[in-house]
Amino acid sequence: MITALVFLATAMGALAQTSGERDLTRAQATVEEMRQQVEAGVAPPAKLQQAEEALADAKDADVLARTLYGRDLTEEQSKEMTAAALRRLERRKAVLEKTQGLVDLGALAVHALDGPKEEVAWANKEYELVASRADLVSELASMARVEQIESETPPTASGPVMEHFEGDGSFTRDDFRQVLLAFEKQFHKPLPISAMGETALHRALGFDHRDRVDIAITPDSPEGSWLRSYLESTEIPYYAFRNSVPGKATGAHIHIGPSSTRLLRAD
């Protein structure tokens, strides 16, 4: 699911960013034009209101172009993305409801509902994609916090929640490539990477995750057990986290590489 989501977001990215910027610029210009016409008395205030609603929608589209179709998100950006998608969906539902009312009154033909219905259907799909990515961001945040807390706790105090293998203390790109190839050969599927290297989420949490990789595998699953055995046989350090947040995120994952440290911030 994670891989499919990334591919879909990437595929739509270029088109969304380009059209989003054009639509925003056009909507801003239209609002200014309508404002001048209303002030001059040559256009009704309703036209300005419509233009302002279109501008608000274009702004939300721009938010989605930078988040849903972007590569890296913080929790705050995820919340902003979700709110923007919900506003777009509600606007389209309002248009459909208004059009339905006119159809019911006989002011419009039934086929006038086709366009608004398609818009609502698309907005629903967009919101579902947003919700999926927001859930992923929440999952990664939960994993990062578990990792941060547990890796800073002495191993003797963490019990079975966290398992640490020191290995030779290093983890290189060549090591990672070998892990990828070995996993795919063993299970005939890609390694489920949830966070690779430094991400906006880890930076926002004050967590240095450079040259580390998080794998979305439960440590005691068949894949997790195999991966831990492989890492130990190749002396690659890892942390296996079994923690979870019931009903919200698994939190369980395998962190490959040395322990992540807190970022040094200049006050």
Per-residue pLDDT of the chain (267 residues; tens, 9 = 90+): 444 444 444 444 444 444 667 788 888 899 899 899 989 988 999 999 999 999 999 999 888 888 877 667 777 888 899 999 999 999 999 999 999 999 999 999 999 999 999 999 999 999 998 988 887 777 677 666 666 655 555 444 444 567 888 888 888 888 989 999 999 999 999 988 877 655 555 555 555 556 678 888 889 999 999 999 999 999 999 988 886 544 434 568 888 887 655 544 443
Instruction: State residue 205's pLDDT score.
Output: 56
Our separate counts of H helices and E strands in the chain read 8, 7
List Cα–Cα distances, 19 to 30, 55, 67, in angstroms: 16, 14, 15
17, amino acid identity:
Q
- pLDDT for the residue 65: 84
Structure tokens at 180: 């990828």
pLDDT of 78 reads 87
Edge to edge, what strands does the sheet with 253-256 contain? 162-165, 238-241, 253-256, 213-215, 193-196
* Element housing 81 (H / E): helix 75-105
Question: What gap in Å lies between CA 262 and CA 267, rounded to an integer?
Answer: 15
What ranges do the domains of the chain cover? 2-142, 161-262
Phi, psi of 207 (to 5 degrees): -120, 120
Q: Write down the pLDDT at residue 163.
A: 83
Which tokens sit at 15?
A: 């088109």
Residue 254: strand, helix, or coil = strand
Q: What is the structure's pLDDT at 261? A: 52
